[in-house]
Structure 1
Amino acid sequence: MDWLGIGVSIIGVALLILVLLLIRPLNKLAAVLSNLQKSTKNLPNQVEDLTSQARDTLSASNDTLQTVNKQVKELSPIFYMLGNATRAANHASSSMADVVMKVREDKSEGNVFTSRNQLEGLYGMMTLVYFMIQTSKNRKTIDMS
């Protein structure tokens, strides 16, 4: 029994020395954990503030996109009208160019008379006015239907 008591006493002294050696690091660890608790205590509020700000920003950007979409929908008929006008102008100019090219290709007596008296510009202008009148009549007929 003597040896058992001595063994237990040695183990007790060893554990006492171990505790004395570990007091400082354990106190420092406790301080670090305390500071960590203080800093993370405000974390839920900060996260809530960030998410509310993000939600507000997304809501504002969504409203802005809806406004832009609405304005684009209001402007799209204007774009269609511009497209139709350019197609009509392209058609009129190509028709006029076809007629002018046809007149130039004809080698008839009228073409010789035109080129001899230098009347190409006058005939070109008359052709342009004629086609403009025709297209305006066509548009009025299409608009009335």
Structure 2
Amino acid sequence: MDWLGIGVLVIGVAFLALVVLLIKPLMKLSGVLGSLQKTTDKLPQNVDDISSQATEVLTTGNDTLNQLNTQIRELSPILHIIGDAGNATRKLSSSMVDATEEMKASTAGGSEITKGRNLEGLYGALTLGYYIFQKQRKN
């Protein structure tokens, strides 16, 4: 029994020496855990702030998109009118080109004369005038 008591006493002294040896690192660890606790206590508030800011940004973005959609809806008829005017102009110019080509084909003998004397522009203007005159005559 004496040996058992001496063994327990030696083990107790060893644990006491271990505790004395580990006091400084354990105190530093408790400081680290304390600062970690302070940081994690602030975390829910920080997450709430970030999520509220993200919500504000998304709301502002949605409002901006709604305003943009409204403005585009308001401009849509104007854009359709411009498209219709462009189509009408294209049809008119293509019919004028067709008439000019038809006139050139019907007067094929005069094409060498106009090219030789650089009168293509004048010839085109006269053809256009003739075409407009014929259209007015029909109406």
Per the shorter chain, which TM-score range?
0.7 to 0.9
Q: Percent identity?
A: 45
Instruction: Write the mapping of 1:1-145 to structure 2, written as runs, cut at 5 A.
Output: 1-107=1-107, 120=123, 121-128=125-132
Note the residue ranges of structure 1 that are not aligned, 5 or more in a row.
138-145
How many angstroms apart in 2 are the aligned matches of 1:17 and 1:129?
120
Cα deviation for residue 126 of structure 1 reads: 4.1
How many residues end up aligned between the 2 structures? 128
- How far residue 33 of structure 1 moved from its aligned partner, in angstroms, is 0.7
The TM-score with structure 1 as length reference comes to 0.77
Rounded to whole Å, the distance in 1 between the matches of 2:95 and 2:29 is 91
1:97 is matched by which residue type in structure 2?
A: V
The unaligned stretches of length 5 or more in structure 2 are none
Q: Distance in 2 between matches of 1:26 and 1:123?
A: 104
Shift of 1:40: 2.0
The aligned counterpart of 1:143 is: none
1:55-92 C-alpha deviation (Å, 9 max, x unpaired): 01110110000000111111111111111111111111
1:10, distance to aligned residue in structure 2 (A): 0.8
CA distance in 2: counterparts of 1:35 and 1:68, whole angstroms: 49
In structure 1, what residue type is equivalent to 2:69? N
- Using a 3 Å threshold, how does the CA distance of structure 1 residues 40 and 99 change in structure 2: closer, same or farther? same
Indicate how the Cα distance of structure 1 residues 123 and 107 shifts in structure 2: closer, same or farther if over 3 A, else same: closer
Letter in 1 for 2:96: M
CA 1:30–1:20 in 2, change beyond 3 Å: closer, same or farther? same
TM-score, structure 2 normalization: 0.80
Contact 2:103 2:127 in 1 (8 A): no
Residue 126 to residue 106, structure 1, CA distance change in 2 (3 Å): closer
Root-mean-square deviation (Å): 2.5
Distance in structure 2 (CA, Å) of the matches to 1:129 and 1:31? 101
Residues 25-79 of structure 1, C-alpha deviations (whole Å, 9 max, x = no match): 1111001111111122122111111111110111011000000011111111111
